[in-house]
A and B are shown apart, each in its own frame.
Chain A
């Protein structure tokens, strides 16, 4: 089985936008891969005029928030480096339990790469207040335009997910093999190469 890889478009986000953007993207992907009985939950983004759908599972929500926190921590520790979140769906193969190990093989059949470029604002010294004014004041209007652009980009990313999900369906495991309502998945944070 081939592993389908989808590189989502890169999004330039502010630090405070990371959580909402990642939640939106991750939940949208998982909703399309939760082929069991789900009660969809509509969620309105606070920063953008976008409504996305969650699969309505508390455990999934918790897991996603946990990974987002890890991502934010990494971004704070390495602000100058681009980080990437990878959402992978796999099948469990060859469960081999031995005396010492319990080998479980994950056969990935789909991977989603979410690329975020977290913008860093230059820190101004406290003494140079006049300089900070020069930086902040013109950015008000630019910030609004950037927000609008980001919303459009985020919407494009969501449509990108929808297109990918509908274009490539053959690699998705059959539903009878589904345990639970959602295919096994994992979220990893890596550094962009």
Chain B
């Protein structure tokens, strides 16, 4: 048989025509299930006209009526009505010039890197031609269609469609020899080509790359990879190492009177081989500048609640209230001697009388023998004391904490930081961890305080630390007998101390200000065995002299001097009515205290703290 020369052959034009269509059909089926393109509208006539399907008029089996649409024509050629594939339409005109040239379709896994510009996404399809002019491929430039840099490309499938013509002198032996009956008629060839394409259609869906394709087209998730393709006539063969990882499937060849059509595929056998890493959305980012963070609102940081110093695991808070470290023992690292303007704002809500109204004496009376829980060591606890105008209730049965609707105001004042307080709420706030029915005084303020502690992390640091608080209130233990005891959970040493000073706690609750609660609950660990009353008296005296923080605080200095009778007289209801807990305006805060005043207090309390520390050490010695 004469050697084949181009598409035109004598004696087998129909066969050649069918072979040409088979090439196109194979390309269409392969790219349809490997190319995640958006389908072109069917009425795009340009693509239709470019589709090189020959007229079916001379074909044996295809319908005699020629459809005006090439898409319909293609469907009728192989009886397979499947969706359009723009990629195939784009490639078919370029890639295959002759039936004798193999058509190699590489399915490429493209891994992206860099930012994905989905907003400005536009498919960037380009075609380049190699030097030989025989290879057309979809441009895999530095950026893919998303405008992202391509990190790597990996051929995950290689389809080879090749038509080998019968060489002259070949009597059926050798390569072309086979026991198969050759397609001597175009009818036979057409029938077998339909079967071949049916098999190809099913096969492309059984290979692992199909799952990758489906993931790309169906998932809304941004993937770190994409599928590309390359249609060429010549490619570099795989290395032995690559071939070792791949499997192949060879379709039984389709013999014709003029040659043999071979279809084969080499692919990675496992999807895991294809995708080495799972697709991930945008990498998680740690947001440092969240609302209320120290970075965004540095001023508020001053008012943030520091972690209690009683626990080594507690996260050190940036700033502490000036109240705190004067009274309680704090770690030097956490001391922030420079008050911020925010302090004046935050503390403005606090009654100015607080500074000298701090009720160590009263607590002395009411919480005689209790060691405050560890969480109460936080020196900044008192700054969250919303309303000083309350008195401890004498009710033996504490009421569950009531919700304080103004807690949000506290948050606004003192920051809503979710700062890493090392202590849990339970540790920091006995109120939060205690059973509701065991909470002290039935005053709403009491409950409010406790609840507030539970709700906001800001309260974590409200509890003062240090032995000075212990001293302050230890002497009041005996006099706090009227206040109901507070049952404390025994799961922490801090809580144990609390149980010993129920009245102290109740007094705190009656004040219904977190800033007081810390003051009122001494540190358990630091509570010396013998606290001296004169030291506490000195402290209170000093507090007395301190200017009030808030003008509307109804608690007078009488509370400090003789807290017991005063406390007993003040009713929770009156405190509630006067203070309205957190119903203070920012203007009041601003007017009540200035930064300078706060700084002055800071210095004073610092001195007081040092004094108490020395006394404590001397006592212990």
Q: Which residues of A contact B (CB under 8 A)?
A: 28, 31-32, 35-40, 42, 49-53, 155, 158-159, 162-163, 165-167, 169-170, 172, 174-176, 181
Contacts and interface: CB of A to CB of B under 8 A. Distances in A.
Contacts of A38: 79-81
B187 A53 contact: no
Interface of B is mostly: helix
A123 B621 CA distance: 78
Contacts of B199: 32, 162, 165-166
Contact of A172 (B80, B191, B210): B191
A35 B195 contact: yes
A109 to B, nearest CB: 14
Interface stretch (B155-163, B201-209, B597-605): B201-209
B79 A32 contact: no
B81 A37 contact: yes
Contacts of A174: 187-188, 191
Nearest to A49: B211
B201 A40 contact: yes
Given A37-B81, A165-B195, A158 B251 contact: no
Interface of A is mostly: mixed
Contacts, number: 77
Contact of A52 (B61, B188, B205): B205
Contacts of B79: 35-38, 181
Contacts of A49: 211
B195 A158 contact: no
A58 to B, nearest CB: 16
A166 B202 contact: no
Nearest to B253: A166
B76 interface: yes
Interface of B: 61, 75-76, 79-82, 180-181, 187-188, 190-192, 194-196, 198-199, 201-203, 205-206, 210-211, 214, 249, 251-252
B181 to A, nearest CB: 5
A35 B191 contact: yes
B181 A31 contact: no
A51 B206 contact: yes
A174 B61 CA distance: 10
Given A32-B199, A53-B202, A166-B251, 8 more contacts: A28-B202, A49-B211, A51-B210, A166-B252, A170-B181, A172-B191, A175-B191, A176-B61
Ranked 10 nearest A-B pairs via Cβ: A166-B252, A51-B205, A37-B79, A39-B81, A162-B199, A167-B252, A169-B192, A32-B198, A53-B202, A175-B191
B249 A159 contact: yes
A36 to B, nearest CB: 6
A114 B190 CA distance: 29
The interface centre, meaning the residue of B76, B190, B206 with most chain A CB atoms within 10 A of its CB, is B206
The interface centre, meaning the residue of A52, A165, A176 with most chain B CB atoms within 10 A of its CB, is A165
Contacts of A167: 252
Contacts of A165: 195, 198-199
Contacts of B81: 37-40
A166 B196 contact: yes
Contact of B190 (A42, A53, A162, A175): A175
Contacts of B80: 37-38, 40
Given A37-B76, A166-B251, A52 B195 contact: no
A51 B218 CA distance: 14
B189 to A, nearest CB: 10
A66 to B, nearest CB: 23
A49 B272 CA distance: 13
Contacts of A51: 205-206, 210, 214
5 contacts: A28-B202, A32-B198, A42-B205, A51-B214, A169-B195
A175 B186 CA distance: 12
A169 B205 contact: no
A31 B195 CA distance: 9
B202 A32 contact: yes
Contacts of B196: 166
A64 B53 CA distance: 36
B206 A31 contact: no
B377 to A, nearest CB: 51
Contacts of A172: 191, 195
B194 A175 contact: yes
B501 to A, nearest CB: 54
Contacts of A31: 198, 202
Contacts of A166: 195-196, 199, 251-252
